[in-house]
Amino acid sequence: MTSLWLFLLILLPLLGEADGAWNQRQIRKKIHQLREIQNFKSFYSRIGLPKGAPSYVPPVEGFLTQPLDHFNRRNNATYKQRYWVNEEFWQRPGGPVFLYIGGESSESEYSVLAGEHVELAQKHRALLVSLEHRYYGASINPDGLTLEAIRFLSSQQALADLASFHLFISQKYNLTRNNTWICFGGSYPGSLSAWFRLKFPHLVYAAVASSAPVRAELDFTDYNKVVAQSLSDAVIGGSAKCLDRVRESFRVVDSVLQTGNVTQLEKDFFSCAPLHGPDDYTEFVSNLADIFMGAVQYNMESAGCDVRKICQSMISAKSAYEGLRIVNSMHIEFIGLKCVENSHEETLSDLRNTELSPTGVGERQWYYQTCTEFGYYQTCEVSSCPFSPLLTLNSQLDLCTQVFQIPTTSVRQSVQFTNEFYGADHPKSSRIIFVNGDVDPWHALSVLKNESRSEIAIFINGTAHCANMGPSRPTDPLSLQKAREEIADKISSWLQSAQLAV
């Protein structure tokens, strides 16, 4: 058992998208750890400890050589892309193929071992395959993060990778048109899942897109609008009072930053180093806001820092400022930090770092994708936002220029083009399920209403980011259980219709 846990700690891949703020990275790291533990438990409860059921064959991990640039075959450069295959449930030779799409982090073998798609694969006797996204995890060349090399990172190249992976797997497993493919993904890979169906309808019969922000948006002010709604949502332990207190606490901090004793702030909020000027002030308030954004986005995934607990602390404290101080301390303890890194120079040098890290979120890569495709900057410049107005669009766009030499006009145009290219939140496709939680801020960029008879939206009451993707649990709220059933029913009926069509 101990060695299994050690093994798990080595994996530690991360998930979820966000801006460059330091605290958000810590939160994502923690959440992913918790999700991996959940997957691990679910997997081993199915297989049985310690060595597994006799029929169990461990998943295959492999590498596929891909063109670095699918759109210019005169460029013969390649890279190796990592994938996994789990044949455990597959009914040869005609059983369906369920594809799990990787995103802005390293993936692990759990991508074919646990989760909603694995439960569905068991039911439908599907071959499970997953593909790590190019430029993340181990799917990158040693020089991949240089300005020169990172050019070939894009969602379009990633979709072409998926097409080429489809061919590779079809050849390797002797698949025919009788093998119906269904793809799955959550968050950015949720968008890829919808787009793979949209752009390659002959390769994949249906798609599940969980918490997929399919509409690119430069200035994502609605993110914090939903965070504010969720902080006052009684269903998850929020209240109007809580939201007021949060708003008040940031007003106090802002006024101290303008005219008060900043040294006191550093001390009260465990800053690793003194704050040097306006850029560090922005990092500071951004790190504080991240705690609330994280609690909302991942509500209920972490018993330590959910909306209910944070709101209780904010309300019961003797002042709003004191509440914020307590919430920050709780957060530090929950993540296991000693202090909070508020140095803007540090953020810049992290994003400029071209050394590879084989596990975790690819921060530099993901920031590059926001600058070249999606924007998604979580700003706070409108009055509905409860946090500090120092969280400006310009402060985030500046990073595109400073780190990648990409000017603001270019970011703007790229975001527009992405929406033109994929159809934003009105994709013209078929057989896609868009699943969202009303607590999750990312739902604001997804498809929330049925687009057509077979582009279906499921909007779950009271759940956060990608809640349906994990293994089902007895503690799932009723609304989530119902959503899982709806997804399963749709998949069953689509698989049936695919068989009739063959």
Ligand X SMILES: *[C@@H]1O[C@H](CO)[C@@H](O)[C@H](O)[C@H]1NC(C)=O
Positions in the binding site for ligand X (CB under 6 A): 76, 173-174, 176-178, 235, 261, 263-264, 267, 450, 456, 461-462, 502
Following DSSP, what letter does each residue of 175-221 receive, concatenated?
Answer: --TTS-EEEEEESHHHHHHHHHHHH-TTT-SEEEEES---S-EEE-T
DSSP secondary structure string for all residues of 258-269: HHS-HHHHHHHT
Cα–Cα distance list, 359 to 19, 145, 236, 465 (Å): 19, 15, 32, 21
Catalytic annotation, pick one of 70, 133, 331, 465: 465
Packing angle of the helix pair 240-259, 320-335 (nearest 10 deg): 90
Minimum CB distance to ligand X, residue 409 (Å): 34
d(CA 287, CA 292): 10
Amino acid in the structure at residue 480: L
- Who contacts 11 (Cβ-Cβ below 8 Å, separation ≥6)? 36, 108, 110, 359
Q: Where are the beta strands (DSSP E) in 220-374?
A: none
Q: Identity (one letter) of the amino acid at 384?
A: S
Q: Give the span between the Cα atoms of 258 and 275, in whole angstroms.
A: 13
Output 228 or 460, the one with its CB closest to ligand X.
460
Of 233, 215, 124, 116, which Cα lies nearest the Cα of 483? Answer: 116
Pick 338 or 453: Cβ nearer ligand X: 453
Smallest distance, Å, CB 262 to ligand X? 8
User: Which residue in the list 211, 440, 446, 476 is annotated as catalytic?
Assistant: 440
d(CA 397, CA 219) in angstroms, rounded, equals 10
Between β-strands 181-186 and 127-131, what pairing exists: parallel, antiparallel or unpaired?
Answer: unpaired
Sheet holding 455-460, edge to edge: 60-67, 78-86, 127-131, 97-101, 181-186, 206-210, 432-437, 455-460
The whole-angstrom separation of Cα 289 and Cα 8 is 30
Contact 193/422 with Cβ under 8 angstroms? no
Report the run of H or E that residue 435 belongs to, with start and end: strand 432-437
Q: Is 398 a catalytic residue?
A: no
Active site residue 133: no
Nearer to ligand X, 311 or 385 (CB): 311
Q: Which residue number, 261 or 405, has a Cβ lying nearer to ligand X?
A: 261
The least distance separating ligand X from the CB of residue 500, rounded to whole angstroms, comes to 11
φ/ψ (deg, to 5) at 479: -60, -35
Q: Radius of gyration of the chain from Cα atoms?
A: 22
Q: Is 214 or 456 the residue whose CB approaches ligand X more closely?
A: 456
Least distance to ligand X, CB of residue 261, Å: 4
Residue 48 CB, nearest approach to ligand X (Å) = 27
As a whole number of angstroms, the distance between CA 347 and CA 351 comes to 6
- The nearest distance, CB 2 to ligand X, in angstroms, is 36
- What is the closest distance, in whole angstroms, from the C-beta atom of residue 232 to ligand X in the complex? 14
Closest CA to 491 of 217, 126, 227: 126
C-beta of 176 vs 259, nearer to ligand X? 176
Query: Closest approach of Cβ 74 to ligand X, in Å?
Result: 8
Q: Which of 108, 111, 154, 187 is catalytic?
A: 187
Q: How many residues does the chain have?
A: 502
User: Least separation, in Å, of the C-beta of 502 and ligand X?
Assistant: 5
Active site residue 465: yes
Catalytic positions, written as ranges: 187, 440, 465
